[in-house]
Amino acid sequence: MKIALMDSGIGLLAAAAAIRELRPDADLVLSSNPASMPWGPRTPEEVTELALGCCRAAAELEPDALVIACNTASVHALATVRAELEPRIPVIGTVPAIKPAAALGGRVAIWATPATTGSAYQRGLIRDFGGTAEVTEVACPGLADAIEYGDEDAIAAAVADAAARTPGGTDALVLGCTHYELVADLIRTAVAPTASPALTLLGSADAVAAQALRRIADPATTGTGTLTVLHAGAPATLPPVATHYPQGRALTALTA
């Protein structure tokens, strides 16, 4: 079994670690283009072209499924990637966990990149799945980039800024960017003082991992637990910054 994941940078670590936890034998292909970051300010056409490049490079290794482990890329490029690769390779997009968050009721905050916040895509999800929940979109400028480069001061500043703009009494916080799941504990700590005591954080990694395994034609196929890293289509290794985060450490340890 081989599963490929693509993202602009290390945001794919969360879904990769979730897949590896479910199937330690799965061979993983991590395809990204960190030199092209950030993707948020780019046009939809640019994001689509960059995402296609990462997906095409991964597809050359003939994975059994491909995960677009990036909210921004899923917004702009999912349909295009599916049109090119399916049905040969099942393609799984990443959707913010708005539906399960809204099902809890009360106040829901969605942390996302400025490009995704207020987008027609996210507003559509809120309209279709928000139900009676009181949903607030919270843009997090600079947070994904700070996580990508392991800049602890910038991460702390961006998290504090977003936390200050998150409504008090928030019951559920949706992490609408895959990078944010790498610092979920820090986000929880920052929001907790003004949030509901029963605050729930919801990412997408676990759901994406489960869906990827469901989409594989022959789930009984086994692998050997290898890890292949591609940067802009060229062979690479996990960047040292990956070990700053628990998901990156888990992948590194399992690979070793």
Active site residues: 70, 177
Residue type, 22: L
Residue 76 CB burial class (10 angstroms; 0-12, 13-18, ≥19): buried
3-state SS, 135-162, equals: EEEEECCCHHHHHHCCCHHHHHHHHHHH
Question: Residue 124: which residues within 8 A CB-CB, separation 6 or more?
Answer: none
Task: Give yes or no for a contact between 108 and 135, defined as CB atoms under 8 angstroms apart.
Answer: yes
Distance CA 232, CA 238 (A): 13
Residue type, 246: P
- Give long-range contacts, CB 8 A cutoff, 24+ apart: 158-161: 159/183, 159/186, 159/187, 159/190, 160/190
